[in-house]
Structure formats: C-alpha cells, structure tokens
Structure 1
C-alpha cells in the first residue's frame, strides 16, 4: 500500500513542478490559472496529433497532467485540420483570455518551453513535426 501512495506523491510532485515552472515563466501567481493555461495548450496540441504520436507524447507527461491531456478527447474529431497559428492562439484565447495576466502567444510559448524542459528532445521534435508549419514556428526549438 505504501508503494502505491508513493506513486501518487511522486506524480503530484511532478505535476507541481510543471505548474511551478510555468508560473515562473509567465509570472502568473494564481496556480489554478497556470494549470488552466497548461491544460488548454496541451489539449490543443493533442487535437493536432495522430493517435500514435499522442500516446508517445503523453507517456512522458506526469500522470496527473496526462489525465488532463486526455480529458474530453474525442478521437473521431482528431486530428484537427487547423493550419494557422492565429487559429491555435484564438482557441487558447477563448479558454484563458479572461486571465488578467494573459499575454497571448508569449504565454503559449511559455507552455511550449515547459514542454521542451520536461519532455525528451526527440519526442518534442516528433510532436512538432506533426504540427502545421505555422505552429512549429510558434513553438521554440528545444
């Protein structure tokens, strides 16, 4: 039983590391809003990926973050055919644009940089390769 509890503690710690890293990069102080930004960007990325790549990418996410990544996923609606960075940004804006500190693409890039810092470079490159060119241009190279 204590081994199972350790797994929960570890994944909670890992999720906190991601949230704290993103809070530091954005300057946001409200952890709920930071988590909402992280979740929103991750699900928008998810919706652009083929199933195999989605599974490989999600395997490197902390378990709690992985749960949010898959929450609400509708396989028949993915991958989306959205081609433009402006559409991606607008979709994120629709979810977190009410946050006072939100700075659009700057904060989205902060999420990409958190991913770059916590996911293997090879996997980040694989995910980026699945995205339209405008989204690859938005996502800093790891």
Structure 2
C-alpha cells in the first residue's frame, strides 16, 4: 500500500529513509534520523557551496527529490563557489550549518555522508564532485578508485 498515494513521493521517502539509516550507522551519529537529516543537509550544502555552480546543479539532479530540497535550501549561485581552502574551514562550514542540532564532529558527518553518496550515486559524478572540492576537503572523501584496505 502506498504511504502517500503518489509513487514519486513514496520512492523519494523510501530512498531518503535508507540514506538516513546508513548515515545513522556511523558510530558517533547513532541511529537518530532527525540528526542524520541535519547532517545530510549540512554536508550537501557545504559541497554545493564549494564547487562550480554548473557542477553543483548536475550533482543536485542526481539526488533523490526530497534530499534535493535540502541541498538547494538557501542556494545563492551568485556567491559560489566559496572555495574554502583548508580542511578546518570546510569542516567549520559543516559545523556552522549543524549549530542547531546536538554537537556532531563535522569530520564524522562528512565521512558518513560521503560514504552514502559514494554508495548510491553515479561513480563518475562522485569523481567530478570530489575533484572539484579543494584538496583539503577532498582528502576527507576516499578516492572511489582506490580499494579500501581491510584487516583480515
């Protein structure tokens, strides 16, 4: 049975819940969907504000409809790209956006969202966004072409 009666709404709600659940799997974020929603929006907006406008628009088109709304919240294309030059400045932008939620390590927030984005979005689009970020911010986002080492 449909939750809303509109298939596109049901699909975006389902996808958004999946993303929020995966973000909430990060140990420091706990399974708190409200917090995960704030984290997702803060990280996406920080990405958006630090890449060229055209690339930001292409990236936004890849996002689920509901998530896209959070991504474009308070969007000011004339002020972009912001180009924060240090890791600390990039993380501070995330932290400032999260100021209304409970305290969250912005590096944990970024890594949790980057992991979800890498899992669900087109790898070529991820590479383009990642490479458009300033190098210190890019270092927070593992290169999709480099396998992750596991202990075992």
Is TM (by shorter chain) over 0.5?
A: yes
- Give 5+ residue unaligned stretches, structure 2: 145-152
Query: Which residue pairs with 1:117 in the alignment?
Result: 119
3-state DSSP class of the match of 1:25? coil
- Aligned-pair CA distance for 1:75: 1.0
Match of 1:73 in 2: 75
Matches of 2:62 and 2:119, distance apart in 1: 12
Q: SS in structure 2 opposite 1:112?
A: helix
Distance in 2 (CA, whole Å) between partners of 1:89 and 1:125 is 20
| Counterpart for residue 61 of structure 1 | 63
**Per-residue deviation, residues 17-65 of structure 1 (Å, max 9, x unmatched):** 1111111134422211110011000000000121221121111110000
Residue 73 of structure 1: how far off its partner (Å): 0.4
The two structures have a TM-score, normalised by structure 2, of 0.84
Q: Deviations over 1:75-132 (max 9, x none)?
A: 11111021111101112122335525x2331232111111111111110000011111
| Stretch deviating more after TM superposition (127-136 or 19-28) | 19-28
CA RMSD after TM alignment: 1.7
Q: Which has a greater percent of helix?
A: 1
In the comparison of the two structures, how many residue pairs are matched? 139
For 1:4-23, what aligned pairs fall within 5 Å after superposition?
Answer: 5-23=6-24
- Distance between the aligned counterparts of 1:141 and 1:62, measured in 2? 23
- Alpha-carbon distance in structure 2 between the residues aligned to 1:92 and 1:55: 20
In the TM superposition, structure 1's runs of 4+ consecutive aligned residues that sit over 6 Å from their partners are none
